Structure 1
Amino acid sequence: MRARKRVVVAINPNAAFGRGREVGPAVVTTLRGLGHEVVSLTELDFPQLLDATRRALTEKPDALVVVGGDGMVALGVMALEGSRIPLGIVPSGTGNDVCRGLGIPVDDAEAAIRMLAEQLDVPPRVIDAGTIAHATGETRFACILSAGFDALVNERANRMRFPRGRSRYTLALLVELAKLRPIEYTLELDGETRVERALLVAVANNLSFGGGMKVAPDAKLDDGLFDVVLVKPLSRLQFLRIYPRVFAGTHVGDPRVIVHRASRVSVAAAGVVAYADGERVAPLPVTATVDARSLRVLAPTP
């Protein structure tokens, strides 16, 4: 007989620019139909939803489920800091890269909900998370901290008021490509300092970001280490040639792509804002530390 669970469901109704609006109610309806006690949370913005989630977690539910994209996963990771409550994820965003890494279906909401319901009845998987220390505090993340070309594109897209949707990101990418230039970074990898000129630095707990771009194809969610990916200076033509290879993860075979592994990574550079799990964090410098086996997730064991 299925055990009755108390579940908090935090929903982003604007995931995928509103196209995933029906997924949250479907999660709540399914879980209630299975006999679980469900608290459903929807707020006007991220800070209010985070606060509401943290309050709901003081009642010690059996699970927190987030419905949305990687930003909602980040909300769950932050809300669960220091907790043993497991995190369930039903993807309805544009990227959904944490789900890709966990083996949760990203293109079939019904399949993802079925998997969630099944995982509520088995022990959770335990994975790493990360903590980013920056000038204004700390931010937790589960996927990838980025500080380079992709972060510059995100920063420009967020400042643009037109066009809306994914086309805004595409336009921002074209503008930044026209301005493509290497950045001088000061990195500290487990205490070893190095200065590098690169187009991109990604501190990866997961293998992909940006909706399936396998920037760190060998990254593991539970090995206690970040994969730190550097893309050395390239011309625009060279960049355009290597860029499609990121979706297959074959770019790491190029000698201009360097991968280090470390559990504590500091990144400093002028004029660059760090992003993590698709959300703005803070201007560099930042320091990311692996929180090994600190996050329980409702996902199948590989």
Structure 2
Amino acid sequence: MAEPAPTRGVFVLAVNPSAGRGRALADAHRAADLLRTGGDEAVVLCAEDLPALLTLVRARLREDAPAVRALVVVGGDGMAQAGLGLLVELAGQGLDVPLGVVPCGTGNDLARHLRIPLRDPEAAAGRILRRLDDPRPRRLDVGRARFADGRTRHFATALCAGFDAVVNERANRWLRPSGSAKYLLAVLVEILRLRTVRYRLGIEDAAGRHRTEHRDGVLLNVANTSSVGGGLPIVPGAREDDGLLELFTVAPLGRVRFLVLFPRLFSGRHVALESVRIERVRSVDVDAAGVTAYADGERLGPLPVRVDVLPGAVRVLA
């Protein structure tokens, strides 16, 4: 009697076609070719806009469950954010799908933190294959941002609400340069408009204690991982699996002192400065007049926002 054919799994690759200056689709097919080497199927899904892409991916994940081996996002941090949000949604419906990342975006801060190879789709796909049957699966905390209008967004790296958000907005409009160079150039442009923000914060610290305070600052991040802006390590000691977030703030500074601060970001030496404050939190409510929040380099919306963490919400193949 013939042995039954082994059941093939399915990798679903979601591609941001504009990422990597148009390289993303080609990178997705290169990654898919390697993912097929174990006998599994790899399906590449692409659409001109993100809502249409997520509709395609959601339908395919549901259709192929439980054969889905992983959702593989091909792009930058914005694409990873979209994939995480979808996986959190599906987990709430009983569908547990791990996340793989093939980075080819501008910042790639999640991939940098997880040490996933950059600009090498075969190497990134190989990492996914090696982690599939890991007896100690890696879990990724997911940041959650809830706005006053009822919207909820999830993020992987950091939510920013201050000068850094303004820099993100400017950097996102530029095609060149790439990575941290673009972020740094946007900093130099926006520093002429530097202003102090009066924040109203409701903090639940790592021990579960609550407090409310007003804090003046020029930078505010609520970070899940270590870097922003294409590799600037704002919170070098951040962990993606500790069930906590890092509240990072910088006190008011003049333009000259602010320019002195930024070069230190490349080495992490800024954490020793008196103006820099980093504290581990479970959640934080952030409000300030006229400030828009960004996360993973994507515009989320105006404050106020409540930020907390979903511990170990997604299994990540990295």
TM-score w.r.t. structure 1 length? 0.91
Query: Secondary structure of 2:200's partner?
Result: strand
Cα displacement string for residues 153-172 of structure 1 (whole angstroms, at most 9, x for unaligned residues)? 223455x5xx6434886664
Note if 1:110 corresponds to 2:122. Answer: yes
Letter in 2 for 1:291: L
User: Larger Cα Rg: Structure 1 or Structure 2?
Assistant: 2
Contact 2:203 2:284 in 1 (8 A): yes
Structure-2 residue corresponding to 1:37: 41
Equivalence map 1:46-65=2 (5 Å): 46-59=50-63, 60=65, 61-65=68-72
Q: Summarize deviations over 1:196-240 as a string: whole Å, max 9, x none.
A: 110110000000111101011111111111010001111111111
Q: Does 1:132 align with 2:145?
A: yes
Q: Which residue of structure 2 aligns with residue 16 of structure 1? A: 20
Q: Matched residues in 2 for 1:143 and 1:3: separation? A: 36
Does the 8 Å CA contact 1:133/1:286 hold for their aligned counterparts?
A: yes
CA distance in 2, matches of 1:21, 1:84: 26
Aligned to 2:293: 274
Residue 41 of structure 1 and its aligned partner are, at CA, apart by 0.6
Alignment of 1:194-213 (within 5 A): 194-213=213-232
**Structure 2: runs of 5+ lacking an equivalent:** 1-5, 205-209
Q: Secondary structure at the match of 1:175?
A: helix
Corresponding residue for 1:233?
A: 252
Match of 1:165 in 2: 176
Task: Trace 1:59-78 onto structure 2 (pairs within 5 A).
Answer: 59=63, 60=65, 61-78=68-85
SS at match of 2:280: strand
Change (3 A) 1:169 1:96: closer
Q: Within 1, Cα distance between the matches of 2:311 and 2:24? A: 32
Instruction: Tell me which moved more, 83-92 or 113-122.
Output: 113-122
TM-aligned CA distance change 1:157 to 1:213, over 3 Å:
closer
Task: Show CA shifts across 1:6-55 (max 9, x none).
Answer: 11110112112224442111011222233111221100011111222111
Match of 2:156 in 1: 142
Deviation at 1:89, TM superposition (A): 0.5
Indicate if the aligned counterparts of 2:17 and 2:48 stay in contact, CA closer than 8 A: no
CA distance in 2 between partners of 1:169 and 1:110 (Å): 28
Instruction: Name the counterpart of 1:216.
Output: 235
Aligned partner of 1:6 in structure 2 is 10
CA distance in 2, matches of 1:105, 1:62: 20
Cα distance, 1:127 vs. partner? 2.0
Contact kept? 1:17, 1:165, Cα under 8 Å: no
CA distance in 2, matches of 1:156, 1:241: 21
Render the CA deviation track for 1:261-300: whole Å, top value 9, x for unaligned: 111111111111101111111111111111011111001x
Task: Measure, in 1, the Cα distance between the counterparts of 2:251 and 2:7.
Answer: 53
State the one-letter code of the partner of 1:126. R
Aligned residue pairs, count:
295
Q: Tell me the distance in 2 between the aligned counterparts of 1:112 and 1:62.
A: 15
CA shift in 2, pair 1:9/1:21, >3 Å: closer
Tell me, what secondary structure is at the counterpart of 1:223?
coil
Q: Return the TM-score normalized by structure 2.
A: 0.87
* Aligned residue number for residue 268 of structure 2: 249
Mapped to 1, the partners of 2:167 and 2:244 lie a distance apart of: 27
Q: Paired residue for 1:91, among 85, 97, 103?
A: 103
Q: 1:169 to 1:99 in 2, by over 3 A?
A: closer
Is the alpha carbon distance of 1:107 and 1:164 closer, same or farther for their aligned partners in structure 2, counting shifts above 3 Å? closer
CA distance in 2, matches of 1:20, 1:52: 17
Aligned residues with identical type, % of pairs: 46
